Amino acid sequence: MSIKELNKDKLDDFFQYLNIHLSENGQKGTALFQPLSKQQSTLSNEWKAKFEDGMNEKAGWRKVWIAINEEEKIAGHIDIRSQNQPNAEHRVLLGMGVDSNFRNLKIGQNLLAFIIDYCKANRQISWIDLQVLTNNIPATKLYKKMNFEELSTTKDMFRIDNISYDYTSMTLNVEN
């Protein structure tokens, strides 16, 4: 498995992977990993534009890396993006996912280790922030294992299909 920065020539493959990944949200007895109902769990043109625009712009930037297996299939992804707020240039927001066919192979852990090392090497980045649905126990355990600190939990942040979901904010300081 290798980790490579996403470039334009792999964008269509990435969108195909991401659409499949989103379709697995809350399926087969797993927890929701996106605050979306099953009907909303598709890759919209708006989401595609956010990835494409973020790769092109300085303000509102986004960098994406993909985990690729030996057959060149995308097995997972991780991205960081600007907070897009004044005076918060030292903080980034993290997002990630792993294809259900490749879970429990430490791909998520390897992607996180990669991004933590990347951010530590980038002196402009001091903090990695993320939000996770509180019921997504596997993700929360992984973030804690990688030394992310839980900051707060927003109770009843989302109501999806008449079910209440809490949202946990976490952070990791990467200053040397």
Can you spell out the DSSP letters for the chain? Answer: -EEEE--GGGHHHHHHHHHHHHHTTT-TTPPPSSS--TTT-S--HHHHHHHHHHHH-STT-EEEEEEE-TTS-EEEEEEEEE--STT-TTEEEEEEEE-GGGTTSSHHHHHHHHHHHHHHH-TT--EEEEEEETT-HHHHHHHHHTTPEEEEEEEEEEEETTEEEEEEEEEEE---
Do the Cβ atoms of 29 and 21 come closer than 8 Å? no
pLDDT at residue number 156? 97
pLDDT at residue number 34? 85
Q: Mind listing the pLDDT tens digit of every residue in the chain (176 residues)?
A: 899 999 888 889 999 998 888 888 878 877 888 888 877 888 888 878 888 877 776 667 889 999 999 998 999 999 999 888 889 899 999 999 999 888 889 999 999 999 999 999 999 999 999 999 999 999 999 999 999 999 999 999 999 999 999 999 999 999 97
The answer to whether the Cα torsion of 40, 38, 144, 65 is positive or negative is negative
pLDDT at residue number 25? 80
Q: Single out the residue of 109, 48, 42, 103 nearest to residue 75, CA to CA.
A: 103
Dihedral angle, C-alpha 40, 46, 47, 48, nearest 10 °: 130
pLDDT at residue number 57? 67
Do the Cβ atoms of 74 and 66 come closer than 8 Å? yes
pLDDT at residue number 23? 86
What is the CATH architecture assignment of 2-131? 3-Layer(aba) Sandwich (3.40)
pLDDT at residue number 137? 93
pLDDT at residue number 76? 95
Do the Cβ atoms of 143 and 170 come closer than 8 Å? yes
pLDDT at residue number 52? 81
Q: How far apart are CA 58 and CA 168, in angstroms?
A: 28
pLDDT at residue number 53? 79
